[in-house]
Structure 1
């Protein structure tokens, strides 16, 4: 899980902000996105402490607490949702005006039972046909690249809960 971006999000920052205020390279920050907290370099911890005006020990403690918590990623717009989908967060909470669009998208997917029945009934040919249809749809779609990427990646998730204020999706592979 990407604890660095989640930690920055909770502190209303982005990696670019850390780079601009501390001079630490974006490449170094990017290298830490999928690392366990115990593998974070001193340079990154020090930069986070500097920008947040906290001690390095406090930053490290907060990061370790975050790792133990295993929280859901919160997305408020398509770009944040795409980031969460790319890093395959276990749970993603979509809030704000964008949650209605995601709800419609999730409801348009076939359930696992429907998909499995369709694939078994066609002896696997449906999977190839569905791929071809999706490729053709993407080719002629007027949607922007972010929307296409979201539609392609969100298939790996299932709808866990939905209300007018938020939509919660969960990675399907966690159920196996």
Structure 2
């Protein structure tokens, strides 16, 4: 028992936390209008309580199709000079639409704009959209928050492009 108490004290003093690692393994999905898609999100955590999983939608900063058709633009030149910069997705949230798609702890709750649609969080953290719409094109952020995690949430993103 004494060893257990010492171990707990060491964890508190050293700032031990359960930690969470989140990865969206596919960075871009391209689907046809009305087709289903499952946006994958994998996570690892040492927490014993199931985490809260939230998917957030962010509109593109600029249309990636138009950007591809205009390779000589100034933004594309900047992106070529800095491979870590993506002008399609890197802009402030104040300059684009941001909304909650769905959240899951024990059950799935859809965001206001997604009520009535066949959308769910499956396989722990994957976002399943049964029938895509044109307005679904954008950046999707998977956020995982283990209730026991003292260090905060983990997140990653993927892009969805819906073609007509």
The TM-score with structure 1 as length reference comes to 0.20
- Which of 1 and 2 has higher RCO (CA within 8 Å, sep 6+)? 2
Indicate the structure with greater strand content. Answer: 2
The TM-score with structure 2 as length reference comes to 0.20
Indicate the structure with greater helix content. Answer: 1
